[in-house]
Amino acid sequence: MTVTLEALAPDRSAPPAPSARLRKRPRLSWTWAVALPVPILILIGWHLGAVSGWVLPFDIKMAFLPTPAEVGLRLVDFAVGGIYDDSYSGTLWGHLGASALRVLQGFLLAVAVGVPLGVLMGRSKLLFRMLEPTVNLVRPIPVTAWAPLALLLIGFGDRSTVFLVFLAAVFPVLLNTISGVKQVPTRLFEAAAMLGTPPLQALAKVVLPAAAPQIIAGMRIAMGLAWVILVVGETVGINTGLGALITQAREQSRTDLIIVGMVVIGLAGFVADRLLSLVFAVAFGRRPIQT
């Protein structure tokens, strides 16, 4: 009897099961209606706390905070200028572009290292036993602890920041890839072997597609961490970038500018995650992935 990989895959031509038909995506309007109340309540609480001078747990003095409206005006001036006309007016895109380039370089380097190494460690028990203790020894070391050493070894500038972003991003990619590869059903390897598929081709045609959901989940976590670590990497020796902006604003006690930098990093990370999901949705077509 001849067995093919297609025979082991679910029949996509068959009509969807009743339970699958019921699991429709929520409408966009409903998604926004559910998601918006929380940020609106946060903005209201922020405004009341800043105006009234609330003191929150941990002795957080909200009287030192600007109101959301003041931050909004600073954000508009930071983006297009024309309101305050200081040295930060209209400089958003330069800072954002420099930071995005560093994040992209560190992230792509982490993917280039993490995915192939994860596939090999997931398929080779010997390699896994050789490297797993070292990975779990290095992984808990916080990137902030690497920062002084990176500055001494690499020096100030883009390369040390890209290296720190790489360190933050590589372990989620590596561990999720290992986990995804280990969960690939054995029957797929058996079917590939029966069809005479060479081992290297089986990695590309069987392992990577089957492990794709977990690999993608690891990449999304890594992208988020890359933006988190960016501020640490851009703290010293860099003049252009969102982390450098926040550092300069802290030295000048500019709380409005600090919050603007935080907001832009949050928005950039959100957009980057959505773009990453879109790329994978286009690349994998109808294959189900986590979004």
Q: What is the reported pTM?
A: 0.83
Q: And the tokens for 45?
A: 């609480």
pLDDT at 237: 78
List, for the chain, all residue ranges whose pLDDT scores fall below the cut of 50: 1-14, 18, 20-22, 290-291
Query: Counting beta carbons within 10 angstroms of the beta carbon of residue 262, is it exposed (0 to 12), middle (13 to 18) or buried (19 or more)?
Result: middle
Cα distance between residue 10 and residue 146, in whole Å: 46
Measuring CA to CA, how many Å separate 175 from each of 114, 229, 243, 250?
A: 8, 19, 28, 36
Write down the pLDDT at residue 287: 58
pLDDT the model gives residue 285: 67
Residue 100 confidence (pLDDT): 96
Q: Which fold has domain 91-284?
A: MetI-like fold (1.10.3720)
Q: How far from 47 is each of 41, 44, 66, 246, 283, CA to CA, in Å?
A: 10, 5, 8, 22, 43
